[in-house]
Chain A
Amino acid sequence: MSEVKFSKEHEWITLEGDVATIGITQHATEMLGDIVFAELPEKGSNVEKDGTAGVVESTKAASDVYTPVSGEVVDINQAIVDDPAKINEDPEGTAWFFKLKMKDISELDSLMNKEEYDKFAKESSS
């Protein structure tokens, strides 16, 4: 599996072959608070880089989930739709959101590595 990359919209992404797994970061869940609702893109649909690909709602507010890369949705994590609290428990592990068959792997190049993201997250929350 590839190195984990991160977007400015607080998504993480890993790549296996040409299939990317995408979720939201620990930092994002801390900002959102208790997540009580999740909506994911439809399997088989196509999503575009930086476009919306789902929604999460906390007790406080709704937030869009963006996809950091383009591709076809090949799998979604129904477990987080059924029990959204799982997202707070393990956002960067078992509570992934969706998997995409990527069209253009070079889209990953513009994303941040862990060190860059941690710095970005720290700055954007202060």
Chain B
Amino acid sequence: MEIKKTSLNKLHQDSQAKFVEFAGYEMPIQYSKGIIEEHKFTRLHAGIFDVSHMGQLFIYGNENLTFDLEKIFPLDLKNLQQNCSKYSFLMNEEAGIYDDLIITKMEDGYLIILNAACKEKDFEILSNILSKKYKMELSNDRSLVAIQGPKAAEILNETINGVKNLTFMTGDWFDYNGQKLFITRSGYTGEDGFEVSILNDLAEGFTKSLIKKGAELIGLGARDTLRLEAGLCLYGHELDLNKTPVEANLKWAISKERLSNGGFVGSDKIINQIKEGSKQIRVGIKPKGRLIAREKTKIFNETELPIGEITSGTFGPSINGPIAMGYIDKEFSKINTKILLEVRGKKYPANICKLPFYKKSYVKGVN
């Protein structure tokens, strides 16, 4: 299959991007400055991320759609206000996770942002349930550009007046060159920021306008170190069909109202796991010294019995040390528990550690 390119591909090339294939797309892993500098720039200034490979699914409908979506997602969508967003999951009956996603209530329906590698499958699953009653569109004509960091609001507001008034996890339509952009105050870096849904034809010009104002393009490499420092899950690593939201320590994302009655896909398992507890749970892990424990590293307790596995591990540039997340038997999940990590045949000490590694600075609103 031919590799897909986003509408910013030429801009990436012109900016000396190193490319990798990701979910069938040619995406920039880093630019000439490198991952550590890009990471730090995002934390101190404002980074621009091309996330156009992610799915933008529009589903059009009214209260009936809200009712039908509540059978799928563990959210209180009836009480979600227009233009407000929630983090959620598409699950199977066993509460295994097909995808994690952001869903936003719009005037005429919902916008769901899906992971690139999952979007076709998600669309198939959701179409089977919803497409007879509702118009659904997995957009091909829109790009998604994120701007993240402490200077993001100031820079974006110069191009799009009014965005600075959005609060975290809310969105709205804005005018840009006679076209409508949908902008949400959200992101996946642990920083304040925005995600901008924009027509493909306008994406390059829009991105260049942000660069002119001091923001810089940031690759997927730094996106990964940023999200890991922020303790955020990445589908295919922390989340997959063999993990539930309870095991992933994400039960905060499941609406309390929905837990009492269930009635969404996977609800029986979720309610039972919350009551009984799960065998394993996702934790933050800090290896001692400089040792990096990558995905699939085996975790042992102090008497060298296997108790879990790392799902993501890297060097955290803002932490200036190695960090990781993984799943571990619950009795070893307490903060500061000493564990061992097996790397290249030897066992090294590490500690269970509070998440996030890096403290967020979101602009909180009423949501």
Whether B291 pairs with A59 at a CB distance below 8 angstroms is: no
* Given A55-B344, A59-B225: A33 in contact with B290 (beta carbons within 8 A): no
Residue-wise, chain B 234-252 has the 8 Å CB interface mask toward A (1 for contact) of 0000000000000000000
Residues on the B chain within 8 Å of A55, using CB: 344
Distance between B312 CB and nearest chain A CB, rounded to angstroms: 12
B75 in contact (CB, < 8 A): no
Could you say which of B30, B225, B290, B317 has the most chain A C-beta atoms within 10 Å of its C-beta? B290
* Given A59-B221, A59-B314: A34 in contact with B292 (beta carbons within 8 A): no
A84 in contact (CB, < 8 A): yes
Residues on the A chain within 8 Å of B183, using CB: none
B294 in contact (CB, < 8 A): yes
**Nearest chain A residue, comparing its CB with the CB of B314:** A59
Whether A62 pairs with B30 at a CB distance below 8 angstroms is: no
Contact-residue size bin, chain B (C-beta under 8 Å from the other chain):
10 to 19
Number of A residues near B (Cβ < 8 Å) is: 13
Mark out the residues of chain A between 31 and 50 whose CB falls within 8 Å of any chain B CB in the assembled complex: 33-34, 36-37
Residues on the B chain within 8 Å of A60, using CB: 29, 35, 221
B315 in contact (CB, < 8 A): yes
Distance between A40 CB and nearest chain B CB, rounded to angstroms: 13
Interface pairs A-B: 7 shortest CB-CB: A36-B315, A59-B35, A34-B36, A57-B292, A34-B34, A37-B290, A37-B292
* Known A36-B292, A37-B322, A62-B294; further 13 A-B contacts with Cβ < 8 A: A33-B35, A34-B34, A34-B35, A36-B36, A36-B315, A37-B291, A37-B315, A55-B344, A57-B315, A59-B36, A59-B225, A59-B317, A60-B221
Residues of chain A whose beta carbon lies under 8 Å from any beta carbon of chain B: 33-34, 36-37, 55, 57-62, 81, 84
Residues of chain B whose beta carbon lies under 8 Å from any beta carbon of chain A: 29-30, 34-36, 221, 225, 290-292, 294, 314-315, 317, 322, 344
